[in-house]
Amino acid sequence: MMQRLVSSLLPRTPIGSACYATAVSDYGVALKKAAELITPADASIQPKEAGYTTGVPLSTFSRNARIYCPARTPCQSGLGRTVDNASTTPVWKIEFETLSKWTNPLMGWTSTADPLENVGRATLAFHTKEEAQRFCEKHGWSYTVDVPNIRRTVRQKRYAGYGDNFGIKRNGVPDLSTLRSNR
């Protein structure tokens, strides 16, 4: 409904005309006008309504979704796509449990007939956990939330390594009188 209102309010321009500079502001004006025209009853989507209207099989709604924040990759040293820097990038993802997989005997590829298998690998990412929960509720999916581990800002205790046997910081200068060369 909102999409139809927005498309009807956008200005009509001939094909090929160069009006890209005003497209963003025109779209913003159209969104504001559409929000004024739409009634609150039309705007609210009831829980599970979005899922039923998409035409997916009813077995989809009995599946459990997992909302999680992926761990930082071992090669990543920054905080870019982590919970600590969630204000700039979406970090929460939705994933479904795997139903069944099989392996191709010739090539060794893993295959599945599950249509929801690639939902977590696709670009279905959210800025906050609440956004992901609302999305699941709108589509009628039951979900569980995995809370991520909080990043430690305090450095862990440093354990002694082999090189510390030769350091003088802990015990001071070692006593060398026991050596045969110093007798």
User: How do residues 86-117 score in pLDDT, each as one tens digit?
Assistant: 666 678 888 888 777 888 888 888 888 777 77
Distance CA 48, CA 51 (A): 5
Residue 92 backbone zone (phi > 0: left; psi -120 to 50: alpha; other: beta): beta
CB contact set of 167 (below 8 Å; sequence gap of 6+) = none
Distance CA 167, CA 154 (A): 25
Residues paired with residue 64 on neighbouring β-strands, in sequence order = 142
Give the chain's length: 183
| pTM of the complete model | 0.54
Q: pLDDT tens track of the chain, all 183 residues?
A: 555 555 555 555 555 555 545 555 666 677 677 777 766 665 566 666 777 777 777 777 788 889 998 877 777 666 666 666 666 667 888 888 877 788 888 888 888 877 777 776 666 788 889 999 998 888 888 999 998 887 777 777 777 778 777 777 666 776 777 777 777
For strands 142-145 and 125-126, give the pairing.
Answer: unpaired
Tokens 């589509």 belong to residue = 139
Q: Which residue pairs, CB below 8 angstroms and at least 24 apart, start in 5-8?
A: 5/33, 5/34, 5/37, 5/38, 6/30, 6/31, 6/34
Distance CA 24, CA 14 (A): 17
